Amino acid sequence: MKIEAVDFYYLSIPQVRDIGDGSQDALLVRVQAGGFTGWGECEASPLVSIASWNCPMSHSACKPISASVLGQKLDSISDIHCINRLVRENALDLLQADHTLSGIDIALWDLLGKKFGEPIFKLLGYKNTYPKIAYASQLFGDDPQTTLDRARNVTRAGIRAAKFGWGPYGRGSVEEDAAQIAAAREGLGPEGILLIDAGTVWFDDVSAAEKRLDALRAAKVTWLEEPFVSGALDSYKKLSIESGKLLLAGGEGCHNFHQAKNLIDYGGIGYIQIDTGRIGGITTAKQVADYAAQRNVLFVNHTFTTHLALSASIQPYAGLKAHELCEFPFDPSPLGRDFTRTKLSPDKNGMINLPAKPGLGIDPDLATLEKYALEVEIKIAGRNIFKSVPINP
């Protein structure tokens, strides 16, 4: 079959707030080929990714993504690899390309899984999947009491692990930050797995991070996530030597294989966190998972948005038993909740199991999503470059 159509749907809640909640909008991608439909999601600015789909060519290494996708052959896994290579080569100088490719690549795997009647993890070569320990991902409260309440909600919901991040953490005093960490631990109880996400707040400043290590150790935090931006390898390495058993986690900002590989090779991290909606999709995420396993670094998904993205983000490491933690969107926006009817909710043991259904095993709920759809229109010199099509015609 040939790729006949690729459509992008910009979805958003009416009022996006200035908070670290990435589930407030979404870019849904539909790929059609040979009578099959695949779905994917870019974890990206919807408009900017849409613009990269059909922008005019600037030169041979700065082509629109469509030039490397539409009309391509899609009969096998190697065809997906071929499309990935083409996009990367033809859009070498188009920075947004990796984010746009991500949603397309996920949809290609979904489509091929549906065609072959196999879940994606089988196509990736995994015979079995292992349940993952769900961790509830949440924002720090504006004060420790709110954080404590949120942590208690996690425990009450039967979830065994929680991550707190963003909000005020890292921006105030060391004492204020310590109070937040202590509150999270108190709310979660002594047995809960506690993860802390600094959201790159210290950029590359090792000393700012070091000052917080005592409080993190006292609260038996499992990992400190993103003390620095993804490229600050040197800072990661220095802090990892200092932090010892308190492992570092990072990588959600990586948008290609080499950036993740470099964090593993040079950053001293214990966990590599990959957003399948940013790194280039399932193809690249699987490549990172294989490399991480080989280097004794634990792979973990980054997913703050929808259950469609959650299925896509677990597939690449579904069969890696030792890599047992899994981020899941605990408190997404109404858009995130409405995205799919099927949910990958944690079971009574707080574990998430991938559906053994073809492709992602989960489809977007188009009838419900219709109300979130925003119409996009782009013209250059009077010519239509992009015009939205209805999501639920």
Smallest CA-to-CA distance from 269 within 247, 242, 287 is with 247
Among the listed ranges 8-16, 121-129, 150-158, 324-332, the one in contact with its own copies (CB under 8 A) is 8-16
Interaction mask 150-179, its own copies, x per CB under 8 A: ----------------x-------------
Q: How many residues sit in the footprint of its own copies (CB under 8 A)?
A: 65
259 is a contact residue toward its own copies (CB under 8 A): yes
Length of the chain: 393
Give the nearer residue to its own copies in terms of CB position, either 52 or 147: 52
Three-state secondary structure of 301-349: ECCCCCHHHHHHHHHHHCCCCCCCEEEEECCCCHHHHHCECCCCCCCCC
Among the listed ranges 31-39, 178-186, 232-240, 287-295, the one in contact with its own copies (CB under 8 A) is 232-240
Burial of 127 (0-12, 13-18, 19+ CB in 10 A): exposed
Q: Got the DSSP string for 207-246?
A: HHHHTTHHHHHHTTEEEEE-SS-TT-HHHHHHHHHHHTTS
241 is a contact residue toward its own copies (CB under 8 A): no
Q: Which of helix, strand or coil describes residue 177? A: helix
81 is a contact residue toward its own copies (CB under 8 A): no
Q: How many Å apart are CA 92 and CA 88, to the nearest integer? A: 6
Among 105, 110, 197, 204, binds its own copies (CB under 8 A): 204
Q: How many Å apart are CA 383 and CA 351, to the nearest integer? A: 51
110 is a contact residue toward its own copies (CB under 8 A): no
Among 44, 106, 274, 309, binds its own copies (CB under 8 A): 44
Looking up tokens 């490229």 gives 231
Give the nearer residue to its own copies in terms of CB position, either 70 or 376: 376
Q: Which of helix, strand or coil describes residue 155? A: helix
Give the nearer residue to its own copies in terms of CB position, either 258 or 321: 258
Interaction mask 272-291, its own copies, x per CB under 8 A: ------x-------------
Smallest CA-to-CA distance from 325 within 177, 159, 182, 79 is with 159
Cα 303 versus chain centre, distance: 4
Give the nearer residue to its own copies in terms of CB position, either 175 or 375: 375
Among 5, 95, 174, 367, binds its own copies (CB under 8 A): 95
Q: Smallest distance, Å, CB 189 to its own copies?
A: 30
Among 133, 182, 213, 229, binds its own copies (CB under 8 A): 229
Smallest CA-to-CA distance from 216 within 154, 157, 163, 142 is with 163
271 is a contact residue toward its own copies (CB under 8 A): no
Spatial neighbors of 149 by CB under 8 A, at least 6 apart, are 141, 187
Give the nearer residue to its own copies in terms of CB position, either 39 or 228: 228
Among the listed ranges 52-60, 124-132, 213-221, 238-246, the one in contact with its own copies (CB under 8 A) is 52-60
Give the nearer residue to its own copies in terms of CB position, either 51 or 193: 51
Spatial neighbors of 268 by CB under 8 A, at least 6 apart, are 236, 237, 239, 240, 241, 248
Q: How many Å apart are CA 39 and CA 12, to the nearest integer? A: 17
385 is a contact residue toward its own copies (CB under 8 A): yes
Interaction mask 20-39, its own copies, x per CB under 8 A: xxx-xx--------------
Q: At residue 179, what are phi and psi to the nearest 5 degrees?
A: -65, -35
Give the nearer residue to its own copies in terms of CB position, either 185 or 278: 278
374 is a contact residue toward its own copies (CB under 8 A): yes
Binding residues for its own copies, per CB under 8 A?
10, 12, 16, 18-22, 24-25, 43-48, 50-52, 55-63, 92-96, 98-99, 166, 199-200, 204, 229, 231-234, 253, 255-259, 261-262, 265-266, 278, 374-382, 385
